[in-house]
A = this chain, B = another copy of it.
């Protein structure tokens, strides 16, 4: 349920999520050197450095930030050690009480979506036993294949108290090429929004929000405003704040009158705060996360 996320947001009075998209050059040289000394300039070495970096970030943020969002691509690029590091990061963040939104943008035809849904939100059956492969709390999903792609994810959400965010209007410059095409008097992303609303309609939690959320980029505030009206019971995951150019005023439209309805992501600005402001990775990330929280909270009615 999205309720689990909402409770963490309320408890910390902080509607933000820290992205964990750890490029090697985001990591302090001494951390990388230490890992390379132990494992060589290998995937194992890179994955070790990334995990140490993530741990420092999670330790510094876990009492003030409700959630982390690891971006799967930056782990997959380091092969098996990278994917192992992703799994360890998910487990570590959950152990520290953080909600984990895995940003992997999966989606396929029905039977294959089921395998993805089980992998990330469910438990895999082997013989008599059922074991969670990755055990995230929440997953991002690509909606291009329609309802039979989404259904298996929704089912896993229902069975296991999980949630998804489906891409509606993404934050990147070329998102409009398809998403803004007009069909029947409205843009494609509004058609997607209608589907997303439908997918979540049977499972509205106690705060009035469905377990099927929407990704709505901070870089398109007018579209966000329209979508907020169209889907009042849908939680928004809002990327694009900070390094991508979105400002607090831009994300304000994604919130509802109840002060809920959106969680705003920042990745680079938090992970690399130490480069700009000095101090340790953890101290600088914490200070930037507090600044961001206050910036976002100041624009919520």
Contacts and interface: CB of A to CB of B under 8 A. Distances in A.
A133 B167 contact: no
Contacts of A84: 80
Contact of A107 (B134, B142, B183): B142
A195 interface: yes
A145 interface: yes
A172 to B, nearest CB: 4
Contact of A43 (B43, B113, B133, B167): B133
A24 B77 contact: no
Interface stretch (A146-154, A220-228, A254-262): A146-154
A108 B36 CA distance: 29
Nearest to A144: B144
A232 interface: no
Contacts of A184: 181-182
A126 to B, nearest CB: 5
Given A119-B73, A167-B145, A172-B148, A43 B179 contact: no
Nearest to A33: B127
Copies of the polypeptide in the assembly: 2
Interface residues of A, number: 69
Given A105-B142, A126-B43, A112 B183 contact: no
B146 A109 contact: no
Contact of A82 (B41, B133, B174): B133
A41 B73 contact: no
Given A142-B142, A142-B144, A77 B115 contact: yes
Given A118-B77, A124-B43, A129-B41, A109 B148 contact: no
Contacts of A21: 112
Contact of A183 (B73, B106, B182): B182
A145 B172 contact: yes
A43 B178 contact: no
A87 interface: yes
A144 B146 contact: no
A106 B108 contact: no
Contacts of A173: 110, 148
A71 interface: yes
A115 B43 CA distance: 14
A78 to B, nearest CB: 6
Given A87-B79, A145-B170, A108 B73 contact: yes
Contact of A76 (B80, B119, B129, B131): B119
Interface string A182-203: 1110001001100100000000
A73 B109 CA distance: 11
B178 A143 contact: yes
Closest 7 pairs between A and B when the two form their complex, measured CB to CB:
A146-B174, A41-B127, A73-B115, A146-B177, A79-B133, A109-B172, A77-B119
